[in-house]
Amino acid sequence: MANNILFLGTGANDWLIEKRKKGMFFRRYTAALINGEVLIDCGPHIFDFVEHYGDPHLLDNVKTVVITHRHSDHFCPETLMKIAGDHDVTLVCDDFCFSQLTDTKGIKRIPMPLYKKTAIGDYKFIALPANHDVRGAGKDARHFIITMPDDKELYYGLDGTWFSTSEWLVLKKHQCAVMVLDCTIGRVKDARVFEHNNMSMVRMMVKQIRKSKVLAPGGVIVGSHFSRKLMPSHFNTRLMLKCYGIKAAEDGMKIEF
Ligand SMILES: [Zn+2]
Ligand SMILES: [Zn+2]
């Protein structure tokens, strides 16, 4: 097992940290750390995770930061500047996010055009357009297929609803060891189905993923970005997703692949 993904946060933007009570189950805003080197999203809860995880050096080896989109649960300029203030990082983000940085010391921003393979260090990335319109920035959120140094592939698809045709056409050509799918909405009726998946959608998507062999043999599908208001308890979420062969993410969960 050469690779791992550590979930630093698994919640949608309705998990307000100021409302967290001691002992209660809690999700921070979604972010993930791959092999300790690639950080996907950089929201305001990252350092709270580091504090509770018990490893003050958790982010010391972060070489690349990839921002999926500008929503405030995924991007916090202060958090990013704090990481880059400690050591140099390569950054992938849209123009809006970059314009929010008041200090770019230690940050080398590189472009990542859609659909094309972009190499950063030992990793290769393919950015795909998510069905998740980011109003005000004029851009959609991005999903990513990331190829590890040992050629294993990981798909990270938060936020978004359903696959667009163009995203699926690319995905079909890959075999991912781990796939992280948006799973914001439970069974409740909510208009956010046009920007986030509900359980029925995830169930159908996973069937097709397996049928089309987009998941590598022995691969793992993970659901994340759970809404506090629209999902059942973590216990029930875990049970429901297990029926579909999906692992429910929780903060601090690490998957080796
Ligand atoms: Zn979000
Ligand atoms: Zn969003």
Instruction: Report yes or no on 56 lying in a domain.
Output: yes
| Over residues 135-161, mean pLDDT | 90
> Is residue 70 pLDDT above 80, yes or no?
yes
| Over residues 3-23, mean pLDDT | 97
* Å from CA of 196 to ligand 2 middle: 9
* Å from CA of 217 to ligand 2 middle: 31
* Å from CA of 39 to ligand 1 middle: 16
| Over residues 61-71, mean pLDDT | 97
Instruction: Report yes or no on 22 lying in a domain.
Output: no
* Å from CA of 153 to ligand 2 middle: 24
Q: How confident is the model at residue 137 (pLDDT cuts 50, 70, 90)?
A: low
Q: Which of 69-83, 135-149, 166-180, 183-197 has the lowest mean pLDDT?
A: 135-149
* Å from CA of 11 to ligand 1 middle: 8
Overall domain count for the chain: 1
Question: Tens of pLDDT along 33-56?
Answer: 999 999 999 999 999 999 999 999
| Over residues 180-202, mean pLDDT | 92
Q: What is the predicted pLDDT for the residue at 126? A: 98
Domain that holds residue 244: 4-16+27-256
Q: How confident is the model at residue 214 (pLDDT cuts 50, 70, 90)?
A: very high
* Å from CA of 75 to ligand 2 middle: 10
| Over residues 222-243, mean pLDDT | 95
Instruction: Report yes or no on 104 lying in a domain.
Output: yes
Instruction: Report yes or no on 21 lying in a domain.
Output: no
Instruction: Report yes or no on 115 lying in a domain.
Output: yes
Q: Which residues neighbour ligand 1 (ion) by CB within 5 Å?
A: 73, 159
Q: What is the predicted pLDDT for the residue at 191? A: 87
Q: What is the predicted pLDDT for the residue at 133? A: 86
> Is residue 1 pLDDT above 70, yes or no?
no
Q: What is the CATH number of the domain that holds 70?
A: 3.60.15.10
SS (H, E, C) the chain: CCCEEEEEECECCCCCHHHCCCCCCCCCECEEEECCCEEECECCCHHHHHHHHCCCCCCCCCCEEECCCCCCCCECHHHHHHHHHHCCEEEECCHHHHHCCCCCCCEEECCCCECCEEEECCEEEEEEEEEEEECCCCEEEEEEEEECCCCCEEEEECCCCCCCHHHHHHHCCCCEEEEEEECCECCCCCHHHHCCCEHHHHHHHHHHHHHCCCEEEEEEEEEECECCCCCCCHHHHHHHHHHCCCEECCCCCEEEC
**Considering every ligand atom, which ligand is closest to the CA of 136?**
2
| Over residues 7-26, mean pLDDT | 96
User: For all residues of the chain together, what is the average pLDDT?
Assistant: 95
Q: What is the predicted pLDDT for the residue at 189? A: 84
